[in-house]
Structure formats: C-alpha cells, structure tokens
C-alpha cells in the first residue's frame, strides 16, 4: 500500500499525519478530548425547554423550590461518590451509611436525650469510622472496593434495622433544630448577600490562583476570563435567587449543599491533598514513586465519602422529620452514582470536579420531576434515567479515547 505524508494545520501548529488509501485518518482533537461541563449544561437547558413547554408549572417558583429541597440530600451523598470515583474506585455502601448515620443521630437525640448538635457530630463520627473500616479493608487487606462496599451495603443496613428496633420508625421532634433545618428559608436580603459574597470569593480565588501560577512560571491568561466567569456565576446565582424568592425563598438545605460543593471544589483544586487525589486516581504507581502516600490518600477518601453520605442521610431525615426502615434505601444509591457520572466525573479515575454532583443531581431530579408532572409511568422514568446515565458514560468513554 502506498502512503504519503500530509501536513495539516491545527490551531496554528503543523501536524504530520499518514494518508492511507481507502481509510479515514482521525486527527487528534485540539481540546484533548475534555468535554467539561458543557454537555451537562446543554442537557439542562434542553430539559428546561422540553418540560417547560409541555407543562407550564415546571418552571414555576413553587416547583423549582421543591426541586431544590429534593436534590440536597442525594446531592450531598453524590459528593462522596465523586471523591471515590476520582480514585477510580466505587462505594456501594453510601445509601446504607446515610441511613445508619441518620438513625444513630435520631436514637441519640430522641432516646438518649443527647443535644441535637452533639448527636449530629457523634453520628458523623460514626460514619467516619465506617469509612475508615472500608479504607483499611481496601488498602491493608487488598480487598476490591466493590466487594468491601457491597458487604457494607448489606451489613450497615442490618445494623440500622437493629437500632430501629421492632417499631421500625422514630420521629424527630418537630420543633427541634434537625427537623427545622429543612423548613428554614433565607430572608431575601441574606440571599442576595450570599450571591454577592460568592461572586467576590470566586473572583478573589481566581486571581490568587492566577498570581500563584505566574510566580511559578506557569502560563496564565489575562484577568478578563476570570471576570467573565465570575459574572456568569453571579448571573446564574442571581437568577436562582430571583426565582426561588417568588415562592418561599432559598432553602437552607440548598445553601448547605452548595457550601459543601464549593468547599470540596476548593480542597480538590487548591490544596495538596486534593491534588494527591487526582494523582492517585490518574496513576497510582506514578503517584507512589513521586512520594505520595497512596494508602493514606485512599483511606482519607473513603472516610470523606462516608461522612458526606452521613450528612446526606441527616438532611434526608430532616426533610421527613423521621427515620424508618427505608432510610438510605430505595434508589438513593443509584441516583447518587448516576449524578456523579452524569455530572462529568470519569469512571476511570483522575478526572472530575466537585460541581459534577450538583449538575448531575440537578439533571436527574429535573427529569424525574418533569415526568411526574406529566404523569409518566414509573417504568418509563426508570428507562429514561438509565438512558441519560448511558449517554453520560458514552461521552466519558469517548472523551477518554480522544485523550489517548
């Protein structure tokens, strides 16, 4: 077969590629195959247009407020899934851990009269111990994370049922601080203050990162992109506050979830432990040779995943003002994993951001909410959710192939 060499220009650079007779030559993509959050944002826009046109109530302030309440608990659990996926592993126990944490908190508060704040801290400490056990089994005993957390899914659910006892349901005091968490709404002035503070903090962070890169000799862009990104963030937050203020206002649980997303994103991007997580997920052996304590990073990630799952369980218990045998069950685990993947976290490790949990759970809850408004059968809802998840994985696989 005769082959010749062709020179093609890609972004101003000359690339020499072989020309084959009867074959198409695929050039590497200039973007490196990184889809980013663009597909998810485009999907959210499409969902809003489709369901908004089919049912006028979908984009109403009342419905969007309910949507914000529904996504906080599962979204917090999805944050822990994002961390584990960054390592290229999986945690199937987050649903059971969320239910167990909520039950421990409720038993301490209701049966043993422990103050609510202390009960929450003790319950989250118990969740951290669960994550520590998972991490040690994975790293020391070298058990696959799938098996470790699958055993945890079954075992921690059994412990939860044991703690609930024969009654199977424990109600939280309606006038207590935990139950009131899901019924607290920010006043309008405070909501707008949060928007301004979030925009200012984001801009300062971007400028500090830019200055740090410049000091180390890394390439930096001008200040205009940072200002434009800040403006876009403020516009989105302002639109959300304006819409939610048309009903009851911004729910406190959404602020808690959003704060956890921002905090985790800053930790992953701007701290050494955060960069270690990406390094271990990208190539564990290379990270080990670079001096990173791979075992310690993995244990910390499993602990953080369980703590975030526990926090999500407490938010769910707050919304129901009770815990029961279905706490942490149903489709919580599947939705949390699907949210992390749909939001853009790679199943292969080393790639993803904390806001993937926010975008992913927003997609899942929006689709479910829209189909409920249209009275779509539950079987169709499951199939549509599965299709969205399969599409997200296909995009991730294609992006990974493009990077190769």
User: Which stretches of 10-93 are DSSP H helices?
Assistant: 38-54, 61-86
Residue 235's CB is within 10 A of a number of other CB atoms, namely 12
More confident residue, 170 or 41: 170
In which domain, by residue range, is 203 found? 37-393
Q: In 140-246, which residue ranges form alpha helices assigned H by DSSP?
A: 145-164, 177-181, 188-215, 223-244
**400 within some domain:** no
Q: With pLDDT > 90 as the criterion, what percentage of the chain qualifies?
A: 38
CA 123 to chain centre: 21
Whether residue 403 lies inside any domain: the answer is no
Q: Is residue 11 part of a domain?
A: no
pLDDT at residue 16 above 80? no
Q: Is the pLDDT of residue 403 over 80?
A: no
Single out the residue of 76, 30, 105, 159 nearest to residue 340, CA to CA.
Answer: 76
Based on the structure, what is the number of domains in the chain?
Answer: 1
Alpha-carbon span 352 to 343, nearest angstrom: 8
Confidence of residue 399 (pLDDT cuts 50, 70, 90): low
Determine, yes or no, domain membership for 45.
yes
With respect to residue 29, please indicate whether it lies within any of the assigned structural domains: no
As beta bridge partners, residue 15 has 8
60-112 pLDDT, tens digit each? 888 888 888 889 999 999 999 999 999 999 999 999 999 999 999 999 999 89
Helix (H) or strand (E) run with residue 136 in it:
helix 116-139
Compare 30 and 208 and report the one with higher pLDDT. Answer: 208
Query: How does pLDDT run across 242-300, given as a tens digit for each residue?
Result: 988 888 888 999 999 999 999 999 899 888 999 999 999 989 999 999 999 999 999 99
Calpha distance 178→96 (Å, rounded) = 20
- pLDDT above 60 for 376: yes
Mean pLDDT across the chain: 84
Any domain includes 43: yes
- Is residue 8 one of the residues assigned to a domain? no
Are the beta carbons of 396 and 346 closer than 8 angstroms?
A: yes
Residue 9 domain flag: no
3-state secondary structure of 103: helix
Is pLDDT larger for residue 38 or for residue 114? 114
pLDDT of residue 199 exceeding 70: yes
Position 134 pLDDT exceeds 90: yes
């Amino acid at each position: 077969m005769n082959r010749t060499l062709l020179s093609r220009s890609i972004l101003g650079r000359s690339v020499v590629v072989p020309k084959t007779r009867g074959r198409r030559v695929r050039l590497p993509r200039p973007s490196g195959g990184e889809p980013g959050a663009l597909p998810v944002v485009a999907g959210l826009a499409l969902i809003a247009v489709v369901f908004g046109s089919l049912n006028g109530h979908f984009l109403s302030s009342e419905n969007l407020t309910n949507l914000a309440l529904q996504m906080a608990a599962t979204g917090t659990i999805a944050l822990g899934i994002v961390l584990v996926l960054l390592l290229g592993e999986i945690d199937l126990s987050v649903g059971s851990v969320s239910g167990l944490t909520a039950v421990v908190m409720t038993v301490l508060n209701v049966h043993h009269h422990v103050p609510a704040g202390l009960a929450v801290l003790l319950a989250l400490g118990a969740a951290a111990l669960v994550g520590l056990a998972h991490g040690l089994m994975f790293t020391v005993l070298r058990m696959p994370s799938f098996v470790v957390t699958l055993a945890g899914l079954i075992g921690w659910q059994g412990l939860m049922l044991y703690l609930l006892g024969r009654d199977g349901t424990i109600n939280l005091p309606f006038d207590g601080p935990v139950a009131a968490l899901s019924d607290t709404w920010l006043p309008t002035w405070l909501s707008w203050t949060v928007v301004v503070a979030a925009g200012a903090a984001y801009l300062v962070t971007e400028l500090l990162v830019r200055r740090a890169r410049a000091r180390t000799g890394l390439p930096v862009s001008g200040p205009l992109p940072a200002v434009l990104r800040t403006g876009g963030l403020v516009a989105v937050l302002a639109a959300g506050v304006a819409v939610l203020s048309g009903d009851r206002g911004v729910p406190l649980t959404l602020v808690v979830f959003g704060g956890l997303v921002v905090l985790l994103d800053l930790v992953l991007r701007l701290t050494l432990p955060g960069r270690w997580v990406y390094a271990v997920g990208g190539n564990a052996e290379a990270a080990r040779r670079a001096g990173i304590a791979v075992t310690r990073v993995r244990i910390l990630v499993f602990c953080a995943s369980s703590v975030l799952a526990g926090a999500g369980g407490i938010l769910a218990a707050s919304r129901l003002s009770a815990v029961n045998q279905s706490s942490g069950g149903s489709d919580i685990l599947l939705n949390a994993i699907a949210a992390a993947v749909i939001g853009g976290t790679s199943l292969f490790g080393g790639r993803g951001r904390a806001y993937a949990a926010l975008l992913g759970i927003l997609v899942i809850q929006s689709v479910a909410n829209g189909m409920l408004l249209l009275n779509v059968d539950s079987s169709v809802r499951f199939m549509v959710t599965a299709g969205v998840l399969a599409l997200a994985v296909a995009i991730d696989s294609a992006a990974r192939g493009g990077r190769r």
